[in-house]
Every structure is written in structure tokens, then in C-alpha cells.
Amino acid sequence: MKICVVGAGAIGGFMGARLAQAGHEVSLIARGAHLEAIRQNGLKLVQEGEALVVRDIVATDDMTELGRQDVVLMALKAHQISAVVGQLSSIVGPDTVMVTLQNGIPWWYFQKLGGAHEGRIVESVDPGGVLARAIDPDCLIGCIAYPATVISEPGVISHVEGNRFPIGELDGSISERAQRVSEAFIGAGFKSPVVDDIRSEIWLKLWGNLSFNPISALTHSTLEGICRFPLTRELAATMMTEAKTIAEKLGSSFRVSLERRIEGAEKVGRHKTSMLQDVEVGKPLEVDGMLGAVIELAGVTDVEVPTLKAIYACVCLLDDTMKAESIYLKGRSRVA
């Protein structure tokens, strides 16, 4: 398959390296020092103490160079996608499958769902419905990324744990194209079942993201630290309980208990969440996909979420403060 990874960060790079190793024609969309390192040295994946360097891989910041793809892995964070929408037509043809890998509530959540909310725009992640208008929902397959990975240095992805990538059609059907994508993922060493309720899978992953990510960003603590400290463990459980009520009102269900979900996060160990990693390097935080959209859906379902709102306010302030300090420091640099 011709596979383009749009956003070859920690997760996208991990998937790209493994898929290339499995024999697929993989191209990566990246930028900055990470892109230059991949171009010069190949993409290095460190896993279980061993290093794999993939050199036969195309890396670029211009997707118009690549041509139509069989599969596009949309691995950008939710707030980054609108910036590349204008280039997608160069790689997405009538038979292209776009697999979305965003944390949190995706822009397409109410597309091909049916019922009273069919077609509703999730403004928190898609202001004005830009993505909903630009990306045909018929080309989309949802995917949940469970592995813990980090960019340990430009051009180098370190895999911490996990290899599960469940996928599913937006309408719940078990399609041939979903099975083909699943087979490609499995051939690359991933666990990738085709599920008939991708939204419930989204909520199961989001259950942890909406609690552990913001708490870690605010406290600079790892998953293990949050889960072993009684007060933050209780805070995470309260946030998860509020979110569970929203999800169930929207028709989703949870196949594991709240306590088991927390225990699973604790077992990951001293891993820094993606939001904490972004705090440490000064990147914009993925606030709205993980929390803002959930609070928006609380309004849709008439669910009270005081704890989610309080943590959301704190993380939004953190994000704004980081942006202001970044602008200030850049200004100081120019003056100097």
C-alpha cells in the first residue's frame, strides 16, 4: 500500500516506521529539526532496547509532492488539522481511506451517526465546521492509538509500551476497506481489530486522556505518580465519572470499569503524557479535543460537569500563559 503519515510525530512516526518495515510504501509529513533529521539519517525507532533505522522512506513538509495515496494516516493533533486541509486533495483520491488518530472527540463525531444529532458540528475542535465541509466523511475510518511513544530527539522515536490500534467505520459497518487497513496494521505488528462501535472506543481512550493529560500538565507528574497519589487519583476518577455520564447519554458504553482503567494507566509507569511533553517543550496544548469538546457535549446532553470545567479553566490558563511567555521570549530574542 501507498501510505502517507500526516504528522510524523511520536505516534505517527512509530506507525510509519513499522509499516515501512513491513514493506509498505510510506511517506511522512513532518517539519523542523525532526524532518531534517529523518531526511539525513532516516527514521530511527527504539523499541525493547533495540534500534531500527528506516532509510527507505520519503519525508517532506509538502504533501503536494507525493501524489494520491491508498491510505492517509491523519496523526496531527486536532488543532493542527485545519492548517493542512488545503493540501489534502493532492494525496486523497476517490478511493483513498483516511484513518484519523486524534486524541479526544474528533470533528466527525456526529457524522454518519444517525439520530437527532446527525451532522452536528463540534465547534470546540472544528470552529465553523471547516473540517466537516472540507473532508468527505465517506473516506474516513476512526482509529484509537493506545501506544505510549515519545520523540526522544529529532528523528528518533522511542516506544514505551502498547501496540493496540482498534479501527472502525463511522457508521459501524464491518467493511472490506476497514479489514484491509486492519490487515496492514496487523502485518506491521500491531493489534488492530475492526470494531462496530468506534465511538465507544474513543470514549474509553478519552476517559484517561481527559483526566490524566491535564492533571499531568498542571502537576508535571507521570501516569504512575498521578495514580499513586490519593488526591489526584480521586480527582481523575471524578473527572472520568462526569465524562461517563455524557458518553452514556450519547449511546456509548464502557467495556472496562473506571477502576480498571485507572489501574491500566498506573501500569504504564513513569510515562509522561503527550500534554506534559508539550508543556515541557513549549508547544500549544491539545486542550479542546480532550476537554473543551467534552464540556461542549455536556451542554448538548444537559450533564453537569463542574470538575471538568474547573480543570479546563486551569489548563486553558496554562496554555495562554505559555503562549504569552513564548511571544515575550521571542521578542526579547529579536531585541537582543
Confidence of residue 269 (pLDDT cuts 50, 70, 90): confident
Whole-angstrom Cα distance, residue 268 to residue 222?
9
SS3 assignment, position 113: coil
For the stretch 46-98, pLDDT in tens is 998 899 999 989 999 999 999 999 999 999 988 889 999 999 999 999 999 99
Residue positions annotated with a catalytic role: 205
Contact 158, 152 (CB under 8 A): yes
Phi/psi at 282 (5° precision): 75, 25
Please state, as a whole number, how many other Cβ atoms lie within 10 Å of the Cβ of residue 303. 20
Whole-angstrom Cα distance, residue 252 to residue 247?
5
Scanning the structure block, which residue is given the C-alpha cell 511567555?
325
Q: What is the pTM of this model?
A: 0.89
Rg value, the chain, Cα: 19
- Lowest mean pLDDT of 88-92, 282-286, 302-306, 328-332, name the range: 328-332
Please report the domains of the chain, with CATH numbers, ordered by start residue.
Answer: 2-195 (3.40.50.720), 199-329 (1.10.1040.10)
Q: Is the pLDDT of residue 336 over 60?
A: no
